[in-house]
């Protein structure tokens, strides 16, 4: 019979196993949901429950104990200020394990470990808002970079191009009006007539006739 051999080694040394759980704890607190193998999820669940209990206790000493396990100040801050307050009225059982079946490659049992109040729809909406804000920030940075390089932004270039197009259209309309304007003639004007055989239709070189005026 085996004695004093509680827990799983997971095919790793002690230092490697502690590092693995430290990284998984940080990911679970950050994203509130992770996917891993079923044995790892079962061993990680008691650790995250203790971290949430420390967050509910609060205080400087509890934060220092949490930082010994999770050496990331931002992650510990989220644990104490966002996650732990949600479970103040709950005595335990802050997480749940959802089995996913076996992995196609090696047949390992997969599972999802998440907080019980995890809202998938809310998280997806928040991700979309964050992605949109990141795209807008990137576009503004590109705009500023272009303005610094060329001295003009895309908006200024578009305005100048629009003004040039308007000027070109105005010049075209003006030229069209000049070509289409009727020729003003004096009253009683008749076209000049030359002798037979002269003019554009004949073969003569001189035009004939005087202009009759009224």
Residue-level pLDDT, tens digit, the chain, 214 residues: 788 888 889 999 999 999 999 999 999 999 999 999 999 999 999 999 999 999 999 999 999 999 999 989 999 999 999 999 999 999 999 999 999 999 998 999 999 999 998 886 677 778 888 888 888 888 888 887 877 777 665 666 677 777 777 777 777 777 777 666 555 555 565 656 655 555 555 555 555 555 555 4
Cβ–Cβ < 8 Å for 55, 62: yes
Main-chain phi, psi angles of 143, to 5 degrees: -65, -45
Domain boundaries, the chain: 14-118, 126-178
- 3-state secondary structure (DSSP) of residue 174: helix
C-alpha dihedral, 164 to 168 to 170 to 173, nearest 10°: -170
- 3-state secondary structure (DSSP) of residue 100: strand
C-alpha span between 5 and 51 (Å, rounded): 24
Residue 168 pLDDT: 79
Q: Using alpha carbons, select from 78, 86, 83, 84 the residue that is nearest to residue 57.
A: 84
Domain 14-118 grouped into CATH 3.90.1030.10:
yes
């Amino acid at each position: 019979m085996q004695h004093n051999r509680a827990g799983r080694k997971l095919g790793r040394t002690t230092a490697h196993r502690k590092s693995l759980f430290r990284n998984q704890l940080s990911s679970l607190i950050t994203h509130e949901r992770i996917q891993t193998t079923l044995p790892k999820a079962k061993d990680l669940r008691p650790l995250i429950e203790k971290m949430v209990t420390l967050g509910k206790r609060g205080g400087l000493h509890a934060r220092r104990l949490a930082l010994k396990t999770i050496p990331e100040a931002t992650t510990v801050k989220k644990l104490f200020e966002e996650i732990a307050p949600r479970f103040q009225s709950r005595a335990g059982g802050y997480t749940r394990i959802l089995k996913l079946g076996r992995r196609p490659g090696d047949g390992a049992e997969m599972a999802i470990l998440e907080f019980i109040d995890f809202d998938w729809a809310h998280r997806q909406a928040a991700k979309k808002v964050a992605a949109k804000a990141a795209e807008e920030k990137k576009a503004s940075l590109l705009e500023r970079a272009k303005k610094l390089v060329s001295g003009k932004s895309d908006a200024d270039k578009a305005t100048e191009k629009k003004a040039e197009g308007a000027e070109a259209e105005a010049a075209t309309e003006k030229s069209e009006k000049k070509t289409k304007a009727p020729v003003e003639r004096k009253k009683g004007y008749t076209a000049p007539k030359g002798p037979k055989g002269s003019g554009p239709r004949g073969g003569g070189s001189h035009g004939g006739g005087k202009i009759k005026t009224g």
